[in-house]
Amino acid sequence: MVTVIHEDRETEIAAARVVGEGLWLSSADVHRATGWTLTSEGLCREGACVPVPRGREADVIRGDAVDLAAFWRHVGHPVVRDGTGQVWVLGTGAAERARALRSLLAPDFALPDLDGRMHALSDHRGTKVLLVTWASW
Amino acid sequence: MDRTSDAARPWIEAAKPSYPCVIDQDHRVAELYNMVNVPQAVWIDETGHIVRPTESAGAYEGFRSMDRTTRKVPDEVAAITSRAKRTYVDAVRDWVIQGRSSVHVFGPEQATAHLTLPDESVARAHAHFRLGQHLLRRGQESAAQAEFEEARRLHPDSWNIWRQTAAVDARGLAAGPEFWARVEALGSRRYYAPVDMEGMPD
């Protein structure tokens, strides 16, 4: 059982195959884990597609299986895995984070309060928001 | 930004805030907004736009002259610390009342100029931190610590990462000898980045 962590998702995938730094998933599992869909254009989401790395098609796609880790790194995102290969984080690269901040649109997020109730930044659209961080440490 | 809700709970309950307090164990907000310390703040207007990007929220460098035994700072430093906090709170109040015409609100060009942006090491650090947090929740402490060490190595400017993963004292603070040594090692570099705000002590 492999756990794939990506943005707000944490997905358990039984049929994942780990080969060193490679994480092979079915196209259905790629979608479950990331929201991205494998099409003939490559990996696509909301109308945007990342084409399969040119000349490396066979390295990254074999039948219905995709090396999602290779794809992710190819797009410029960090991929980290634990020692056992059972937990993977598909991170987000600095370029994308910077692009989001440069748009000056405050990136949305949802986090729980002490009672476990989720609050999203976007819940407060229409009001000024002072987002302040604090810690008990 | 805290290890668990339980760590934050007594403080939040004592404060009885009238606003939502959410628990960010995995530093998702720090990652999105490129934050490195607490308290840091972002001002977001009614349309969801950033009008003041991530900055120190009225905190002052004065704690560095604290007597470690008595935990007191010299009076003149305490006065500046109060002034810094008051200046920030007054600015927020001014924004609430004046809205976009507050002198403290940045237009798009100024806001962009005040952004601090992450680099690839920082992005990678956050991925390791996220993994570490997951492993910690699964009870795999030493595997988690290895991830935290890597996160610290990749993002040395992040006090959030360092302090949340450091040993804490009886009060729950990561304020032991290692913390102070790391603060000393800053030399003339700032623990809290200076804030570009009218009236803010430097």
What lies within 8 Å, CB to CB, of A114 at 6+ separation is B5, B8, B9, B12, B13, B21, B23
> For residues A28 and A14, is the Cβ–Cβ distance under 8 A?
no
List of chain B residues whose C-beta atoms are within 8 Å of the C-beta of residue A125: 46-48
Q: Who contacts A52 (Cβ-Cβ below 8 Å, separation ≥6)?
A: A42, A43, A60, A61, A71
Tell me, what's the pLDDT at B69? Answer: 86
Q: Which of residues 4-63 of B touch A (CB under 8 A)?
A: 5, 7-13, 20-24, 28-35, 38-50, 53, 57
B 63-102 residues with CB < 8 A to A: 92, 95-96, 99
| The pTM of the whole model exceeds 0.90 | yes
The token pair at B44 is 């977001």
B154 interface with A at CB cutoff 8 Å: no
| Residue A95 token pair | 């370029």
For residue range A40-99, list pLDDT tens digits in order. 888 898 888 988 888 888 888 888 899 999 999 998 999 999 999 999 999 999 999 999
What is the C-alpha R_g of chain A? 17
pLDDT interval class at B97 (50, 70, 90): very high
Pick the residue from chain B with its C-alpha nearest to A114. Answer: B5
Q: What is the mean pLDDT of residues A115-122?
A: 97
Q: Break chain B into its structural domains and give their ranges.
A: 5-184
ipTM > 0.85, yes or no: yes
* Mean pLDDT within B148-176: 94
> Mean of the pLDDT values across residues B127-147?
97
Looking at the predicted structure, is the pLDDT value of residue A39 above 90? no
Mean pLDDT of A17-34: 95
Q: List strand residue ranges (DSSP E) for chain A, in order.
A: 2-6, 9-13, 17-19, 22-26, 37-39, 42-45, 48-50, 61-62, 65-67, 79-81, 87-90, 110-112, 118-120, 129-132
Q: How confident is the model at residue B150 (pLDDT cuts 50, 70, 90)?
A: very high
Residue partners of B131: CB distance under 8 A and separation at least 6: A5, A80, A81, A82, A87, A89, B147
Domain boundaries, given as residue ranges, for chain A: 2-96
Q: Which residues of B touch A79 (CB under 8 A)?
A: 127
| pLDDT of res. A59 | 86
pLDDT of residue A56: 83
CB contacts, 8 Å: B170 with chain A: none
Cβ within 8 Å, pair B174-A137:
yes
Instruction: List CB contacts (< 8 A) between A127 and chain B.
Output: 46
* Whole-number pLDDT of residue B105: 98
Residues B30/A109, Cβ–Cβ less than 8 Å: no
> What mean pLDDT comes out for the span B173-193?
94
